[in-house]
């Protein structure tokens, strides 16, 4: 089974929909809202300055403004450090996610410049995943989001991309913060879609995630928790995209019944709103008009 979960998530940073990326107006409004609510968010001025507006939009038919803020350091995004914020009338009403505090100390005041060329790091990532190239590594093109695109190169299902980012080693059961090149690799001859992170200073692999979740199907259904405990997957890398839902055993079936509602109705025999008599009219509980309805009193 192949499930490609490109992420909000969690996201894997890039993993919120690009369709709602903030324009300049929303970006300015978002930055102003976050700055005005920094005390409620327990952020310092410097931490606010290091937040990037990734996504901002207003929930339709509401006064809720949603803002997704990506932590950065020296203008480089930090892997999986995202704040999801909701504002109403300029006031913070909900927030989730976290950032790294005192990041300057944790990064040991790194200058943010990679010592390893992206092409050399790409070769290391490919070797780690045992992917053989048919040609030499091409010169990548940088897009508006600072990702370097190498294309499909005749062997990938999707464009192979690279992105410079800070990687908290907590995700690899270690400590500290490393500057890494993260590569998206999806070989055509495999169901796997890999995120490979290569240390931008030592050219060694420090983290690998597989966006494909495998399950060995059997005759007995199993929960997500059992899926993880019994290792119903074949890949040993981070299969972190199986959600653990607690089983609800004390449940009962409760059908959703509407007892009272008002609808805009186009009455028969009008065929549509543009036909004679087709102007919509407001009626309460129009289902009671139907013949044979248990609450029907008039046959219409």
Q: Give pLDDT, residue 165.
A: 95
Inside any domain, residue 216: no
What's the rounded mean pLDDT across residues 164-179?
A: 89
Q: 137 and 88, same structural domain?
A: no
What's the rounded mean pLDDT across residues 167-186?
A: 90
The whole domain housing 188 covers: 118-210
For the ranges 25-29, 159-163, 291-295, the lowest mean pLDDT is seen at 291-295
The proportion of the chain whose per-residue pLDDT surpasses 90, expressed as a percent, equals 47
Residue with tokens 């509980």: 285
Inside any domain, residue 245: no
User: Would you tell me how many other CB atoms lie within 10 Å of the CB of residue 22?
Assistant: 19
Q: 160 and 133, same structural domain?
A: yes
C-alpha angle with apex 90: 89 to 95, nearest 5 degrees?
Answer: 105
Q: 77 and 34, same structural domain?
A: yes
Q: Is the pLDDT of residue 13 over 60?
A: no
Inside any domain, residue 227: no
7 versus 133: the higher-pLDDT residue is 133
Q: Give pLDDT, residue 256.
A: 52
Closest listed residue to residue 59, CA positions, set 96, 27, 85, 23: 85
Q: Give pLDDT, residue 285.
A: 80
Q: What is the rounded distance in angstroms from the CA atom of residue 29 to the CA atom of residue 53?
A: 10
159 versus 287: the higher-pLDDT residue is 159
What's the rounded mean pLDDT across residues 5-18?
A: 40
Q: 189 and 266, same structural domain?
A: no
Per-residue three-class SS string for 69-138: EEEEECCEEEEEEEEEEEEECCEEEEEEECCCCCHHHHCCCCCCCCCCCHHHHHHHHHHHCCCCCCCCCC
Q: 157 and 77, same structural domain?
A: no
In the structure, what pLDDT confidence band is assigned to residue 9 with cuts at 50, 70 and 90? very low
Prior bond to 103 cis, omega within 30?
Answer: no
Q: 129 and 47, same structural domain?
A: no
**Which tokens in the block code for residue 218?**
């059997």
Inside any domain, residue 190: yes
In the structure, what pLDDT confidence band is assigned to residue 97 with cuts at 50, 70 and 90? very high
Q: 94 and 34, same structural domain?
A: yes
Q: 130 and 92, same structural domain?
A: no
- β-partners of residue 42 are none
Residue 79, domain CATH? 3.10.450
- CA atoms in the 13 A half-sphere facing the CB of 230: 14
Q: 128 and 99, same structural domain?
A: no
Inside any domain, residue 266: yes
Q: Is the pLDDT of residue 196 over 50?
A: yes
Inside any domain, residue 1: no
Q: 91 and 24, same structural domain?
A: yes
How many domains is the chain built from? Answer: 3
Inside any domain, residue 172: yes
What's the rounded mean pLDDT across residues 90-96?
A: 94
Q: 196 and 125, same structural domain?
A: yes
The proportion of the chain whose per-residue pLDDT surpasses 70, expressed as a percent, equals 74
Q: Give pLDDT, residue 194.
A: 94
Inside any domain, residue 154: yes
In the structure, what pLDDT confidence band is assigned to residue 5 with cuts at 50, 70 and 90? very low
For the ranges 20-29, 91-100, 259-268, the lowest mean pLDDT is seen at 20-29
Q: Give pLDDT, residue 287.
A: 72
User: Would you tell me how many other CB atoms lie within 10 Å of the CB of residue 63?
Assistant: 9
270 versus 142: the higher-pLDDT residue is 142
In the structure, what pLDDT confidence band is assigned to residue 237 with cuts at 50, 70 and 90? very low
Highest mean pLDDT among 114-123, 133-142, 222-231: 114-123
Positive or negative, the CA dihedral 233, 238, 241, 243 is positive
Whether the Cβ atoms of residue 40 and residue 90 lie closer than 8 Å to each other:
no
**Which tokens in the block code for residue 140?**
């990548």
Burial of 126 (0-12, 13-18, 19+ CB in 10 A): buried
Q: 77 and 25, same structural domain?
A: yes
What's the rounded mean pLDDT across residues 258-272?
A: 77
């Amino acid at each position: 089974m192949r499930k490609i979960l490109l992420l909000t998530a969690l996201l894997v940073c890039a993993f919120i929909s690009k369709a709602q990326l903030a324009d300049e107006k929303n970006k300015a409004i978002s930055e102003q809202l976050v700055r005005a609510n920094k005390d409620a968010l327990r952020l310092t001025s410097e931490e606010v300055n290091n937040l990037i507006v990734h996504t901002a939009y207003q929930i339709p038919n509401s006064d809720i403004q949603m803002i997704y803020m990506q932590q950065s350091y020296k203008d480089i995004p930090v892997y999986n450090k995202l704040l999801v914020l909701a504002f109403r009338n300029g006031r913070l009403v909900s927030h989730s996610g976290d950032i790294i505090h005192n990041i300057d100390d944790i990064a040991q005041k790194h200058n943010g410049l990679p010592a390893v060329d992206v092409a050399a790091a790409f070769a290391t990532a490919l070797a780690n995943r045992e992917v053989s190239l048919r040609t030499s590594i091409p010169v990548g093109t940088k897009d508006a989001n600072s990702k370097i695109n190498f294309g499909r190169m005749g062997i990938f299902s999707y464009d192979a991309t690279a992105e410079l980012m800070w990687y908290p080693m907590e995700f690899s059961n270690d400590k500290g913060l490393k500057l890494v090149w993260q590569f998206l690799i999806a070989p055509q001859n495999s169901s796997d879609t890999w995120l490979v992170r290569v240390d931008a200073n030592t050219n060694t692999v420090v983290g690998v995630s597989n966006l494909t979740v495998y399950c060995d199907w059997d005759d007995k259904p199993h929960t997500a928790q059992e899926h993880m405990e019994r290792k119903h997957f074949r890949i040993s890398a981070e299969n972190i995209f199986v959600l653990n839902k607690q089983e609800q055993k004390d449940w009962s079936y409760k059908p959703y019944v509407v007892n009272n509602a008002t609808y805009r109705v186009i009455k028969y025999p009008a065929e549509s709103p543009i036909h004679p008599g087709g102007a919509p009219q407001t009626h309460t509980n129009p289902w009671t008009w139907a013949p044979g309805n248990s609450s029907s009193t008039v046959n219409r």
